[in-house]
Amino acid sequence: MLFASSHFPARRARFLLSLSSIALLSACGGGDGTTDLSSYLPTFAAPSPINIATLTVGFAIDPNVATNLANLLATAKYQNTSAGIAMINSLYGESIPVGATQDPLRTGGAAFAHATGLTGAGEIIAFSDAHVSVDHEAIGAGRVIVQSNGLTGEHGTSVVSVALGNSATFVGTAPGATGFFGSFDTSAELAQLGVGALEKGAVAWNNSWGYTNIGLNQSGFNAAFSGTDGAAYLSAIQNYAASGVVVFAVDNSDNGNAGLMDGLPVLANYLEAGWIAVANGVPTFTSNVVSSVYLLSSPCYESARWCIVADGSWNAATGPASDYDITTGSSFAAPQVSGALALLAEAFPTLTPHELRIRLLASAEDDFFSGDDTVELADGYFKRYSVLYGMGYLDIEAALRPIGPTAMAMESGAKVGTSAPVLKTGTGFGNAIERSLTGMDVAVRDVLNAPFRMTAESLATEATMDGQGMTLLAKSMSANFAADRTAAPTALGDPFASFTGATLRMDDPDGLGSATVLVPASGDSASGVALTRAMGDGETRLELGLKLARDNKGLMSLGGDQAATMASVTLGLTQDIGTNGFLALSGELGVTDLGGATRITEATSASFNAVKLTVGQSELFTKGDRFSVGVGLPVAVASGHAVARLPVMNKATMSYEDVSIDLAPEDRQIDLEMAYMAPLGKWTEMKFSLVHSENYGNQAGATDTSGAIAFALKF
């Protein structure tokens, strides 16, 4: 496969083939050189960030992917692709650690993509190589269009099989993609292939070869692209890289520098946005994270900013029929990256190949190195890279998942972050918001503007409900036990029962009017004032009240960003039912602004209500005690609607639609209460409170049972 031509510099295929009569390239060891690597860092400026268009199609990962993946990995075709650490070490004299994972389809994430249903279907990968046997069973008739073909060798067959092979016994990275193949024998053939790749819209142009006798310098550049054919080749590279992605394998031998072609953007930095260099390495995983990579090729060196590592050790296709053989080299790492681009193109059809390239580099696993520098891959998105390992190890699974926080693009152009719920609703709504959004998907994008679909109900979450024990205790500790125990029963005695916090009450001298203040403990605490007036002081007592309050964002706030203002009227009826017995009935009806507009809804309002019935008896067990039981529906939204205009996903398209949100819970909280107050001697008072709630927090089936006992000492 090593050859020369009098018209252009020599090229060599970058691979190792175990059963060949001669090893063409030596492999690099662990790549842990001790020399100063700073000179390999590119110093020119990064290209301008990509201008990313509005996305309209989302990609949803199958929830059954774990099961699908396990089933795939258990099949022979997925197990047959691995070359095996022991075999590589034996054939090539390497020292890959025993604990490393030599399983390229799994470690690179291609198997995960297959488990989601992705195959690269509809995508084209271009190949410049020596020769391809299109009748090999791993390739299949009609799947590769050959523009020009070399005469000998099966290097190209192996490369193509790694990228898109598919048979009963073998599977490549993108088994549903098709190929466009041309010989690398002459610059004219290379140029012709580049022109054809651009015309056909190939997502990647794979090159598993490199020059053997020229370096990454101006003289090497001049030698490679001199003459009419050389100039035509350079033009084809420039034109294709302006929209597609050129993939080049790095050298298998560590010569201390990047090669001319994998490092070409060093000399022509306008190519960087359409360029990827690929090194060959076997990873070691610790707790499902890459902890180290054993390099079998040259490090990335000057190509580091656009370089990625993949496992180029395969049991790949060779020969014209059904032969397979153990291979290793960057030649077979590169087509994994080309295949990965095809998988991503199928998953994200609205992204350009340049955007897919950014995604692949951004998602590369980099936890196993500290990094030598960073590059701005997209506007505001920085990624660290290593002179040895480039951007890191190939991780197609990570590229298929959201990168960074997600956001929802509103029709107005505003972006609403969706990594956390947008609507953190108060307990007065229960799960009404989530219920209204159930069964609907919305379009979101990650920081690299890749589209995803997200269940609309994930936009909302109800406020966290703690047990009521501390609230009972707090109310007990702020009360005047003796006064409450001996006062005439009243239906509106606790106007802020649905709020936490201390209250102060002032009564008229005639005992018919009162004012109660809910005292805020901090700036975010609830506050309010309630005024009541009683009519009649006989066996029947009617009370009217007005109340104005602001919640703590946890009761009537729709968005959770602003406290809700609440205004209500209250009505109470207390009836004497015999010796020391009483019955108290209270009701409340009000309106609330729900905290105003949210990030996805206009300002709106809702009505709320509450009702409670209490029956009690004084002097029941001992002189001066009071016992009561009650049942009630605490404050909750009674009616109200909000409208959110959302980017709704319908099958594969997105449209902005008005979504009506019913704010009232289906299942109201029901409280069963018991309270007992008694004097314990001349100087001590005791109060015991117990409450059991069904549909706690207005959530169907949720329950809470809490109690508190408090003692007051008089001095």
In sequence order, what DSSP letters do the residues of 647-667 get, joined into one string? EEEETTEEEEEEEEEE-S-SS
pLDDT score at 34: 37
Q: What is the mean pLDDT of residues 415-430?
A: 90
Please check the confidence at residue 529 and state whether its pLDDT lies above 90: yes
Q: What is the mean pLDDT of residues 357-362?
A: 98
| Higher-scoring residue by pLDDT: 54, 308 | 308
469-646+664-713 CATH: 2.40.160
Q: What is the mean pLDDT of residues 10-33?
A: 34
Q: What is the mean pLDDT of residues 96-123?
A: 95
pLDDT score at 60: 57
pLDDT score at 171: 97
Q: Give the pairing type, strands 275-286 and 245-249.
A: parallel
Q: What is the mean pLDDT of residues 566-589?
A: 94
pLDDT score at 135: 92
Please check the confidence at residue 8 and state whether its pLDDT lies above 80: no
Categorize the per-residue pLDDT at 321 as very low, low, confident or very high, splitting at 50, 70 and 90. confident
Picking from 9-18, 151-160, 336-345, 704-713, which range would have the lowest pLDDT averaged per residue? Answer: 9-18
pLDDT score at 42: 47
Q: Measured between alpha carbons, how far is residue 402 from residues 52, 399, 449, 648 in Å?
A: 16, 7, 9, 18
Architecture of domain 11-34+75-372+385-400: 3-Layer(aba) Sandwich (3.40)
Q: What is the pLDDT of residues 510-519, one digit of tens each?
A: 878 899 999 8
Q: Give the pairing type, strands 373-378 and 381-385.
A: antiparallel
pLDDT score at 463: 74
Surface-to-core class of residue 323, CB atoms within 10 Å of its CB (0-12 exposed, 13-18 middle, 19+ buried): middle
Picking from 181-185, 405-409, 546-550, which range would have the lowest pLDDT averaged per residue? Answer: 405-409
**Exposure pattern of 27-44 as b/e (b: 16+ CB <10 Å)?**
bbebbeeeeeeeebebee
Categorize the per-residue pLDDT at 13 as very low, low, confident or very high, splitting at 50, 70 and 90. low
Mean pLDDT of the chain: 88
3-state secondary structure of 40: helix
Please check the confidence at residue 324 and state whether its pLDDT lies above 90: yes
| Percentage of the chain modeled with pLDDT above 90 | 69
- Ranges of each domain in the chain: 11-34+75-372+385-400, 469-646+664-713
Residue closest to 355 by CA, chosen among 91, 150, 52? 52
Half-sphere exposure of 465 toward its Cβ, with a 13 Å CA cutoff?
Answer: 25
pLDDT score at 671: 95
Q: What is the mean pLDDT of residues 189-207?
A: 98
Residue closest to 136 by CA, chosen among 315, 312, 281, 321? 321
Surface-to-core class of residue 531, CB atoms within 10 Å of its CB (0-12 exposed, 13-18 middle, 19+ buried): middle
In one-letter notation, the amino acid at residue 74 is A
Q: What is the pLDDT of residues 58-104, one digit of tens each?
A: 455 666 788 889 999 999 999 999 999 999 999 999 999 999 999 99
Cβ neighbours of residue 439 closer than 8 Å, sequence gap 6 or more: none
Q: What is the mean pLDDT of residues 275-302?
A: 96
Please check the confidence at residue 639 and state whether its pLDDT lies above 90: yes
Most confident of 63-67, 329-333, 617-621: 329-333
Q: What is the pLDDT of residues 442-454, one digit of tens each?
A: 999 999 999 888 8
Q: Give the pairing type, strands 204-207 and 124-129.
A: parallel
pLDDT score at 652: 74
Do residues 294 and 281 lie in contact, with contact meaning Cβ atoms separated by under 8 Å? yes
Please check the confidence at residue 535 and state whether its pLDDT lies above 90: no
pLDDT score at 293: 98
Do residues 145 and 431 lie in contact, with contact meaning Cβ atoms separated by under 8 Å? no
Q: What is the pLDDT of residues 367-400, one digit of tens each?
A: 999 999 999 998 889 999 999 999 999 999 999 9
Which H helix or E strand runs over 700? none
Please check the confidence at residue 350 and state whether its pLDDT lies above 70: yes
| Percentage of the chain modeled with pLDDT above 70 | 90
Please check the confidence at residue 341 and state whether its pLDDT lies above 80: yes
Please check the confidence at residue 19 and state whether its pLDDT lies above 80: no
